[in-house]
Structure 1
């Protein structure tokens, strides 16, 4: 028989063999013992944490002829057939390649038939989140009211992609990442069984690289065994995982702590030249900094397995770095980690990160240095203050109360461009203004979204055949619109399209507009001297004027 990977040979065959999921396995065993199993299960969790293995064990337990305390005996005919994958009543489906409506309808139709050999027909659907919307809808009714002889076990790494209607019809179990300690113990058991020697630190390196996945850990162990001729060493584990020795990480951080950026950069170049993976280097650095932070705050929380990787630099660094510095360094490395995914030149980003890490942040400068830098300025200010206090005291002795001049606030006002406004007012007519107001909404709709938002609070107040005066509520918007060449071009182009004319556009502030118009009337032919008494405004017209503003906007017709 050809060689089989370790994770296949050592796949758990009973609930007690499953590593790191005690809460789940105990719950399932109790349900089997009491006969309170569900018709549908949802197994969620990261890759390599035992979802499919537990699904197969559960399928065996549901059909085992000699169930013992919820555990399958693995000796009966049905257990052995399920282990070999030869029982037709236990159907494994990969939803990644069978995700259509037709495949699920086929399952739904066949689920109606009773099992041929087993007591319970079990459907294990792996990566169920890959099913299409139509396929989920086809599965929905069957999950809600399945035949009594059918159990569905759904497994996924991305439960957030599964419709809530599916999740609510299943019994959900969340698989956790397996701890480094549990992974190391499992690898020790396997290596002892195979009579292979190993360094414990090498197993810790593999466990960290596996990131909580037992299958990944055993795959890496397989590679290390092939690479190292049946002996597991730290060097081989680092070479296979692309990781960096803890001592080298300590040297790198020691150089950064001493602000020796040149030495730190040299270390980075040496590691990359030796074939170390840039992404893996950053992950190892973050893990090292995390260990330093945990050790500073609560040394007992650092797991015993993790302390095996502590080097001679660790404790001095824990004393030298402040928690705030460690948090900042982790943030910089996290940012760099995101940048590495988008580049083919990781060296550049690692060098930039090294310079940033080795340069002290302004907040980290020693307080004494800050005081030294600030002392000349403070001394000069203190001298001036003493002189002023002495002068005030002398004036008060002489009976003179010093007056403090308060600076006046400058009122920001826009300059009115009379050379453009007055010619437009000279030929402005009500007809031209009414025509402009009629097309104004269409003109605004032709602008881009940002330009339209700015012009929403504008209003035409005067118009002539050759010009338009537009008022705004705020000075700042008048300035911004006047300086926006693109906006003025869009307005002129829109007027050309809607009216066939391209008039001059002048902007004014709405509060200033009445005074501008008054000044124009006084300067251009407003009658002087005694005037005829103006006719009294009828009360109804006054009420309407109060509501709607200027009388120019109101037309009074006598019937």
Structure 2
């Protein structure tokens, strides 16, 4: 018989053999024991976590007549036939290659027939998210009203691609990633059964490289066994996975934290010359620094034996760099890792990264430098300056004493002016006129009314913190290309200006609601009237009068005209000198003469 891969030979045949899925297996076993078997299940989770294996074990368990605590016996004819894939009543379908409507209709038609040998006919549809929309619609009716003695088990790695109408008709089970500890124990058990020699550190390297997939771990283990002539050694595991030895990482870490960039560059070149992948080097270094950071916080948070280092090594590394430096190192590594995905010269990025890491220093260190150390060397001029300052301080202290002894009448008037301080602070708020003026240039009443009508619906699309921030704001002007939102309080305006995610969410929500792209601009409410008046004045919108109009407008009419022009103008280009400038005429034109009432104040 030809050679079979480890993940096929050691495929779980019982619920107890599934690694790292205790919650799922216990729930399925209880459902079988209590005869509460549903007609459809959805197994979702990352690759290599046991979804298809669990589906086959479940198919055996519900058809086995010799159950033991919800586990199949694996000895009867039904169990053996399902294990070897020879039972016609258990049909396994790959949705990636059978994703059409006709294939699903064929399943729907054949599902009506009773099982021939087993008690239940089981359909296992793997990678179900690959089905087309029409295929999902064809499957929907069968899941809604399934025939008797038929069970559907859907497996997928991308549950978000499955329609909600399907998910609402199945029982969902989430398969989690396999921890490195569980993968290590499983590989150790398999190698013990095969009587193969291994190094435990090599198994930890493989478990970490598998990234949560048991099948990936066994595939890597298979490669290592082939590479090292049926042995598992640390150096071979590092070679196959492309990982970096802990000793080299430790040396590199000490060199960059000691600001020895030249030595660190040589170490990095040795790592690359050994055939290590640059992307893998950064991933290993991030994991390495993360272990040091956790050890600083609490040594119990990590398993030291799984890292290939000792407690003494971690104690030295924890003392070599404080947490603030480690945070900066991780940020630098994440940035370089993102940039390296699009380059063909990773060695250049790694060299820049090494120099950058070597220049990171603890930020609070400069504050600890003692300033008074040079005072004994002060000159005569410095001493004269110090004497003058001391005399000034004494004079100020005497003045303060006199003010404290003065009658309270003079001091009582001062608190009245304190409420004006926040307004002074608000004047320092930066308003982006370069973004506001283009919106005002094309602002219309119709656009503003439209945005006001959609305001609550727009807020419902935002997160709870974003809605709370916009609770004290409202749109004050709008055009086809932008919206101006005024905030009641300056500090909330400043907080909104610093939140780029809020701007993106609002602009995306406006595009979904209106169908057009609109730029959102924030202004403080107390500055909005001044901004609007200055725009009207600068663009001459308050001087549009008919040539035959003799009397000059009153200040009140100028303000009203400015307000109407600000809110209702179509464009500065359309407001020429021949257009209507009388506020009454403009109001009648916009709102109709029936509802306009003129009062002489």
Whether these two folds match at TM > 0.5 is: yes
Query: Is the CA contact (8 Å cut-off) linking 1:247 and 1:312 kept in structure 2?
Result: no
Note closer, same or farther for the CA distance 1:88–1:392 as it changes in structure 2 (3 Å cut): closer
User: Which residue of 2 is the match for residue 274 of structure 1?
Assistant: 274
- Residue 158 of structure 1 deviates from its aligned partner by 1.5
User: Which residue of 2 is the match for residue 553 of structure 1?
Assistant: 582
1:76-106: CA deviations, max 9, x gaps?
1111111111112111111222222222222
User: Which residue of 2 is the match for residue 456 of structure 1?
Assistant: 442
Pairwise mapping of residues 48-87 of structure 1 onto structure 2 (< 5 A)? 48-87=48-87
Root-mean-square deviation over aligned CA pairs: 4.0
User: Which residue of 2 is the match for residue 461 of structure 1?
Assistant: none
Note closer, same or farther for the CA distance 1:27–1:114 as it changes in structure 2 (3 Å cut): same
Distance in 2 between the 1:383 and 1:84 partners? 99
Note closer, same or farther for the CA distance 1:513–1:225 as it changes in structure 2 (3 Å cut): closer
Match of 2:537 among 511, 523, 533: 511
Note closer, same or farther for the CA distance 1:375–1:172 as it changes in structure 2 (3 Å cut): farther
Distance in 2 between the 1:297 and 1:367 partners? 24
User: Which residue of 2 is the match for residue 345 of structure 1?
Assistant: 345
- Residue 374 of structure 1 deviates from its aligned partner by 12
User: Which residue of 2 is the match for residue 322 of structure 1?
Assistant: 322
Query: Is the CA contact (8 Å cut-off) linking 1:44 and 1:173 kept in structure 2?
Result: yes
User: Which residue of 2 is the match for residue 332 of structure 1?
Assistant: 332
Distance in 2 between the 1:384 and 1:148 partners? 100
1:250-293: CA deviations, max 9, x gaps?
00000011010111111111111110011111111111111111
Does 2:230 match 1:230? yes
Greater gyration radius? 1
Does 2:182 match 1:174? no
- Residue 68 of structure 1 deviates from its aligned partner by 1.7
Note closer, same or farther for the CA distance 1:2–1:383 as it changes in structure 2 (3 Å cut): farther
- Residue 202 of structure 1 deviates from its aligned partner by 0.5
- Residue 367 of structure 1 deviates from its aligned partner by 2.8
Query: Is the CA contact (8 Å cut-off) linking 2:536 and 2:542 kept in structure 1?
Result: no
Distance in 2 between the 1:356 and 1:372 partners? 33
- Residue 51 of structure 1 deviates from its aligned partner by 0.7
User: Which residue of 2 is the match for residue 207 of structure 1?
Assistant: 207
Distance in 1 between the 2:177 and 2:396 partners? 79
Q: Look up the SS of the partner of 2:537 in the other structure.
A: coil
1:360-387: CA deviations, max 9, x gaps?
24725443348589999x9999986874
- Residue 456 of structure 1 deviates from its aligned partner by 2.3
User: Which residue of 2 is the match for residue 283 of structure 1?
Assistant: 283
- What residue ranges of structure 1 are gaps of 5+ in the alignment? 398-408, 410-448, 459-507, 522-533
1:125-178: CA deviations, max 9, x gaps?
111122222222222221122112111111111222222222221111111111
1:299-325: CA deviations, max 9, x gaps?
112136525444864320012221222
Note closer, same or farther for the CA distance 1:382–1:4 as it changes in structure 2 (3 Å cut): farther
Does 2:251 match 1:265? no
Note closer, same or farther for the CA distance 1:114–1:361 as it changes in structure 2 (3 Å cut): same
Note closer, same or farther for the CA distance 1:309–1:76 as it changes in structure 2 (3 Å cut): farther
Note closer, same or farther for the CA distance 1:224–1:389 as it changes in structure 2 (3 Å cut): same
Count of matched residue pairs: 443
- Residue 229 of structure 1 deviates from its aligned partner by 0.6
Pairwise mapping of residues 137-536 of structure 1 onto structure 2 (< 5 A)? 137-303=137-303, 305-310=305-310, 313-361=313-361, 363-369=363-369, 371=371, 387=388, 390=391, 453=439, 455-456=441-442, 510-511=536-537
Distance in 1 between the 2:556 and 2:308 partners? 89
- Residue 394 of structure 1 deviates from its aligned partner by 8.2
User: Which residue of 1 is the match for residue 23 of structure 2?
Assistant: 23
- What residue ranges of structure 2 are gaps of 5+ in the alignment? 399-423, 425-434, 445-533, 565-579, 586-601
Note closer, same or farther for the CA distance 1:166–1:389 as it changes in structure 2 (3 Å cut): same
- Residue 357 of structure 1 deviates from its aligned partner by 1.3
Note closer, same or farther for the CA distance 1:310–1:457 as it changes in structure 2 (3 Å cut): same
Query: Is the CA contact (8 Å cut-off) linking 1:204 and 1:305 kept in structure 2?
Result: no
Note closer, same or farther for the CA distance 1:368–1:65 as it changes in structure 2 (3 Å cut): same
Q: Look up the SS of the partner of 1:231 in the other structure.
A: coil
Distance in 1 between the 2:329 and 2:168 partners? 43
TM-score of the superposed pair, with normalisation by structure 1: 0.71
1:399-457: CA deviations, max 9, x gaps?
xxxxxxxxxx9xxxxxxxxxxxxxxxxxxxxxxxxxxxxxxxxxxxxxxx999536226
TM-score of the superposed pair, with normalisation by structure 2: 0.66
Distance in 1 between the 2:362 and 2:155 partners? 50
